[in-house]
Amino acid sequence: ATCAACDFNQERNNCKRRMQWVWRGDYNPATKGEYDRTKDQLMRESRTNGSEQQFNELSEKEQAKTISDRLKLYSKNAYKKTKVTEEVTRTDTVCMRENDFYVDTVRQFRDRRYEYKKLTKVWAKRIGKAETPQEKKEAEDSALVYDS
């Protein structure tokens, strides 16, 4: 929707970046039918959790908690687990013109790389100029750090 209204929405601009991310969801293994059956069963029971109130007289929040607790108990008995974890890889489009973070990150990486290349050359020269073993070791270590 944002890209359709954008002035730069043309193929030649290459401003759309497809990014993958992982959605992780935890849910109860009970089906919709089992949920409805549990809810119906709770409505038919005369007392819930030792209180004198009927299920439909409880607040929505209390009803949801009661159903959730009952479904966990049911799932534990029927499925031998109370939750299922699912990970799904999804893809979204990010506008690099709107979110300049990507362009700035690439520029910072490039600039830092050039800086490290210069420092590698400086420390490589210092290896040759080192007079003591300690200075040589320090220069070699620094050259290795900036080279990697």
Q: State the 10-residue block means of pLDDT for the chain, 148 residues long.
A: 70 80 92 94 73 82 93 94 93 77 83 91 89 90 86
Could you give the CA distance from residue 83 to residue 75 in angstroms, rounded to a whole number?
A: 8
Distance CA 64, CA 128 (A): 74
Q: How much is the pLDDT for 96?
A: 74
**Residue the block writes with tokens 């359709």:** 4
Q: What is the pLDDT of residue 81?
A: 93
Residue 93 confidence (pLDDT): 79
Predicted local distance difference test score (pLDDT) of residue 29: 92
pLDDT for residue 147: 84
- The residues near 111 (Cβ < 8 Å, ≥ 6 apart) are none
Residue 70 · residue 34 · CB < 8 Å? no
Confidence (pLDDT) at 50: 62
Q: Are 93 and 18 in contact (CB under 8 A)?
A: yes
Query: How many CA atoms within 13 Å lie on the side-chain side of 122?
Result: 9
